[in-house]
Copies of this chain bind each other. A is one copy, B any other.
Amino acid sequence: MKALVYHGPGAKSLDEMPKPILRSSTDAIVRVSKTTICGTDLHILKGDLPTVTAGRILGHEGIGVVDLSGAGVTRFHAGDRVLISCITACGKCEYCRRGMPSHCEDGGWILGNTIDGTQAEFVRIPYADTSLYALPEGADEEAMVMLSDILPTGYECGVLNGDVSPGDTVALVGAGPVGLSALLTAQFYAPAKLIVIDLDDNRLEVAKQFGATAVVNSTDGKAVEKVMAMTGGKGVDVAIEAVGVPATFNICQEIVGAGGHIANIGVHGTSVNLRLEKLWSQNITLTTRLVDAVTTPMLLKTVMAGRLKPTQLITHHFKLAEIIKAYETFGNAGKERALKVIVTNP
């Protein structure tokens, strides 16, 4: 089968690979019909993630059709249309039972990381019963791909952890796909103000279309000043960090108001300076989270009900045969005005 294979830092190719086989009775083999590329895949390609070794098929998002299922899989059968979760959950360990499968003792984020992933014609899904979701009748397939990772990530790490509530003033730092996912799902809770901060005017324009009530281009280094002015000096109720560098974290800690929340989504490569000499008395809550994707069933319902429109996030379409080109487009997101790209098989 065709698959996008990582060959070490900077190197990838669309290779012919063996079709995956069942290794455990709880596995399923899924024929991938649509997948996408994540910012994390770009990090892998830079060599930032030592857990990913050469020869690995990338990708942790997608939908498809069950091709084969192990004897222990009871909820899915060959022919079922399924959504693949980026998080593999054994459903049995302490962490899965605490609702935190991101730290599953035999799963978590392993697809396209420590086991082969979804940017291929077929993929093996361990613990299929608790790592796949049935696609509802009439579901828009492209919308569903957004539920593998990006929407649960924005929602769980940003909106839920940030405790976005009706009437709140929310600031979102970073208008990339994950930040925009937080922007879309924050609107589940009727915040009064949704301020989006980014360096790219195009993305800020998109943010406005997606529901931002104000946008701030932080190129001039005055984002903190501007947000404080917008909030009468009080700061925001919730600051969502969706970039993953010290500068954006810093904006968050400068603009959060007394009693407020900082919800970190960003994948950070270095430590940050936490201003406890100021914040110790500010009654703030700071959270981090690797997505658990436990809200996928709920998000599915909101999509089917028309309350959430994930296809807004999709800007480009490719065939699996063109996936190298898809990576180029996604890798030049600013210039290409790319958010999420859909890769279809065949």
Interface set, chain A 274-307, CB cutoff 8 A to B: 274-277, 279-290, 292, 294, 297-302, 304-305, 307
**Which residues of the other chain, B, contact A72 by a CB distance below 8 angstroms?**
25-26, 71-72
State the oligomeric state as a number of copies.
4
Tell me, in angstroms, the Cα distance from A248 to B91 when the chains sit together. 36
Q: Could you tell me if A274 and B274 are in contact, using CB atoms closer than 8 angstroms?
A: yes
Does A97 sit at the interface, judged by CB under 8 A? yes
Interface size on A, residues (CB 8 A): 70
User: Do B268 and A280 touch (CB < 8 A)?
Assistant: yes
Q: Find chain B residues with CB under 8 A from A74 CB.
A: 92
Question: Given that A192-B302, A268-B280 are known contacts, is A71 also in contact with B274, CB under 8 Å in the complex?
Answer: no
Is A58 part of the binding interface, using a Cβ–Cβ cutoff of 8 Å?
A: no
The residue in chain B whose Cβ has the minimal distance to the Cβ of A259 is: B100
The distance in angstroms between the C-alpha atoms of A110 and B183, with both chains bound, is 39
- Tell me if A230 counts as interface (CB < 8 A to partner B): no
Determine the main DSSP class of A at the interface with B.
loop
Cβ contacts under 8 Å, A287 to chain B? 283-286
Beta-carbon contact of B188 and A166 below 8 Å:
yes
CA distance A308 to B190 in the complex (A): 9
User: What are 25 A-B residue pairs whose CB atoms fall within 8 Å in the complex?
Assistant: A26-B72, A71-B71, A71-B72, A92-B129, A92-B130, A98-B259, A99-B99, A166-B188, A166-B298, A166-B302, A167-B301, A191-B305, A192-B301, A213-B305, A264-B280, A266-B280, A267-B280, A268-B280, A271-B274, A271-B276, A272-B273, A273-B273, A274-B274, A276-B288, A282-B288
